[in-house]
Structure 1
């Protein structure tokens, strides 16, 4: 009776394929978002409830109940500026994610072909980390500014845009994780070179 042997998974190969799928989906998302927003399609805009709805806008509410921000308005015929601001609130983030996925896909591919201690692998981790640490907060600020301008563009409404400070922290953690992995690989490369010298 012969025993069936299970193939040992090659996690680098699996990750390389997964990253390619994610990269294609992200790239298509960028194209779809750009096509939608830059062709004058309806734009969703958030405004504060104070200017958009008065205290008597809704009837029959229990005592002590009030409307909370934001109100989502759909502008069916946006101006060029509104379409541009809507694009600026979404596209930079999608482009950053797509670029990071592309760099990580190339990095994993190089590690598969030449081994984890190939000379360029630690440096590529550092480049990816730098992209996330610097690009993440920049995209976050662009997103906030674009949403502020977009909200301010609706007559009768009050500007509404939330500055979520957890977003740059997450980008920073991802970036420093890449720095850490790159440093681990670099130190492993140094130890390997030392061992080769001893042998």
Structure 2
């Protein structure tokens, strides 16, 4: 009788343990799904701010490739989202990294239209000094909005620099390094897109080649 009671108690405890584990697993899966959806929606909103409304009918977040061009894009692997309408190329959105920010790497989101002009640039994350370098944030100043419509021809390539270096882009009082680094990173992103051309839009591509070293055909 005593053994049966012990066995019954063990079965009850085992059932509770299995139920508890299952509940934790289900809760964890639901939380992960919610986090993933929140990230998706946040990135979708960011893309919408740097792409012309009504110019696409695909989901750029699903039409994505990884490219490898550290020299141009600042990281070993960079995401590229392709924007299309009626299956025709409209733009690409890249996530380059500014490796030489004043206080560390700066992560950008850069859209380049099919004609080579910038649809927009946004800062995704950074560690720049509050009140100085953080003016690259859209919420802190309108500086980052000044890239819209620019291209490698407007301004000319030699003018893609801050004013202190002979370029046309403003610098921040007391914080020249940050805007200088961002301007250079955006310029390099435009150069990469120009160098790769239609390869970035190939529907079945899994990656695009690294940028060709200067001096090579």
Q: Normalization by structure 2: what TM-score?
A: 0.28
Identify the structure with the greater helix proportion: 1
Identify the structure with the greater strand proportion: 2
- RCO higher in 1 or 2 (8 Å CA, sep ≥ 6)? 1
